[in-house]
Structure 1
Amino acid sequence: MSGQTLTDRIAAAQYSLTGSEVARAVCKATTHEQTAPKKKHLEYLIEATKESNVNIPQMADTLFERATNASWVVVFKALITTHHMMVAGNERFLQFLASRNTLFNLSNFLDKTGSHGYDMSTFIRRYSRYLNEKAFAYRQMSFDFGRVKKGAEGVMRTMPVEKLLKGMPTLQSQIDALLEFDVHPNELTNGVINACFLLMFKDLIKLYACYNDGIINVLEKFFQMKRGQCKDGLEIYKRFLTRMTRVSEVFKIAETIGIDKNDIPELTQVSPV
């Protein structure tokens, strides 16, 4: 199905009748069309998170409801829409998601309507796990790694030892969940998964910058740490080295699908010396 279905139109009309413009926009962003959610609907929802009169829990519940659809297209687009709002919406949207005990429960999702449905279902399961991990990281740290200041004066470079040793494994877990999406260029076969990959790629750039800052901080503070902390710090550094290759593989995929080389950071290995 390439265009909006009758079901899409009826659902949007129902939300219009109830006066819920936010729910209608969610519905419009998550149609059965095998294309990325339309920019105008995403922008409307992102702006809505900044309005004091908008019910954030209700907005999130509408997205969760769309993620229970049987169609891989609708579910994938519900996740992509949520991801856009987590990244660019008012932070209170992310705060609400982080406050929930459960988010997307899609570990068993399977669209059996065709081979394409089977293939995309795999990526939906992995993607939902990443978004859950992103919200969990916010709950653990009380900030979003993607939004914080980077560089010499950034959050991860100036973080005290105790918080740093707690925060780095949380950051590593979020990066691992992203890397486990594990898509290959020949699997980026439609506008929906391509839109997802682009969001994940942009997240990875920000997460890697934080990761690099954190490692520099660990190494700078290493000789001031207690013995147990040194052991933890060394383990964090070893894990960082093993993830470098996997991060570079994602960057190579980004290059093969036409993302500008200037938008892809060069990876440099932080040395303990």
Structure 2
Amino acid sequence: MLRKYLTGFTAPSSYDKVVQLACKPKATLPKAKYLDPIIAATWDSGALHEVCVALSSRFYDPNATVVFKALIVLHTMIRNGNREGVLRSGSETLQLSHVSTRNYDHTSPAHLQNYAAYLDSRIQVYRNLEHDVIRMQSDARATLAMNNMSPLRRGETRVGRKLRSMTVEEGLLRETRAVQRMVDALVACRFYLDDLEDPLVLTALKMLVQDLPILLEAENEGVLNLLERFFDMSHVDATEALTIYHNFCTTIELAIEYLGVARKQQFLLNVLIPNLKHPPISLGGALQEYLDDPAFEQNRIEYRINKDAARRGTWSWDSQPTHTRPSF
């Protein structure tokens, strides 16, 4: 049967046929004999484009099950195939925002549109940043594990250069906001409130639970970097950094709830779910007080002078003004 669908597989109609079979309107998972050639196609730009064109038409299908399966196929392509290629081709071909505006019948999962919005956020962030955050963070994890490297040395990894040690001038605020948008979109996909006996719902939830800790780790890297650079920022940048920090605190609350509920279904999901810690909420008040100080610019200059002195080895905490001492 598989050979039949792979014969002449360079033809667009062949890809369309396989995608159509993978997204049949039945509440069953796409079969491996359809997914395997789709995943293989992600490594060939021409074939990938044809797969995305075929998928795109599925997102306009009036049957919610077809749309849901098409989203699962896309998510699987991102996770198991050529991620950058899929995200790049998707930004040119797929119109997932259309899914978020559709009205389906009572058989559609309550969070189908949210799922589409999350995958769309992955595509849009890739378009803006030109790299996949999850891929970079996964690569960093692998590098740390392979080299038995301490987390304190993350700056030596690729992702460390992007989020943990990049400067505001290099786009730290922009990239951290982008990660935050993806996390916010993911935690809105509350499939755990749907029927977990539905294999489609369970599969989507499993992939989301696998994505979430990696995205949170990336967001945490960015927020820590922002906090360390906070007292060196302009008032405009520091204000935006504080907004990102407040949003991060809210996101963590939602993520703790999300993973907590998922942990109760761990025997079904078969995914290792980490424990998250709440960030120090009180820090926000101290940072806001620093921003509101009429002598903000003078304090910033003093901080820079003391920082330069520290680099020369002539600085101590006793010489640091109280209002500019970071409390984290």
TM-score with structure 1 length normalisation?
Answer: 0.83
Question: Which residue does the alignment assign to 2:165?
Answer: 158
Shift of 1:262: 7.4
Question: Which residue does the alignment assign to 2:210?
Answer: 202
Identify the match of residue 119 of structure 2 among 126, 131, 137. Answer: 131
The 2-side partners of 1:223 and 1:59 are apart by 49
Range 197-206 or range 220-229, more displaced: 220-229
Identify the match of residue 88 of structure 2 among 91, 95, 107. Answer: 95
Change (3 A) 1:73 1:102: closer
Question: Which residue does the alignment assign to 2:272?
Answer: 263
Identify the match of residue 45 of structure 1 among 38, 50, 57. Answer: 38
Q: Is 2:161 aligned against 1:173?
A: no
Q: Is 2:71 aligned against 1:62?
A: no
The 2-side partners of 1:261 and 1:248 are apart by 18
Shift of 1:80: 0.6
Give the letter aligned to residue 243 of structure 2.
Answer: E
Give the letter aligned to residue 140 of structure 1.
Answer: N
Which protein has the larger Cα radius of gyration, Structure 1 or Structure 2?
2
Shift of 1:268: 2.6
The 1-side partners of 2:78 and 2:168 are apart by 28
Identity %: 27
The 2-side partners of 1:142 and 1:164 are apart by 14
The 2-side partners of 1:242 and 1:111 are apart by 31
Contact 1:134 1:174 in 2 (8 A): yes
Shift of 1:251: 0.6
CA RMSD in angstroms comes to 2.6
Q: Which runs of 5+ in 2 are unaligned?
A: 141-150, 281-326
Shift of 1:88: 2.5
Give the letter aligned to residue 231 of structure 1.
Answer: T
Identify the match of residue 143 of structure 1 among 110, 131, 142. Answer: 131
Shift of 1:261: 8.7
Q: State the structure with bigger RCO (CA 8 A, min sep 6), 1 or 2.
A: 1
Shift of 1:236: 0.9
Change (3 A) 1:262 1:33: closer
TM-score with structure 2 length normalisation?
Answer: 0.70
Shift of 1:256: 1.6
Contact 2:186 2:208 in 1 (8 A): yes
Question: Which residue does the alignment assign to 2:145?
Answer: none
Q: Which runs of 5+ in 1 are unaligned?
A: 1-11
The 2-side partners of 1:157 and 1:227 are apart by 21
Identify the match of residue 70 of structure 2 among 73, 78, 82. Answer: 78
Q: SS state of the match for residue 159, structure 1?
A: coil
Shift of 1:194: 1.0
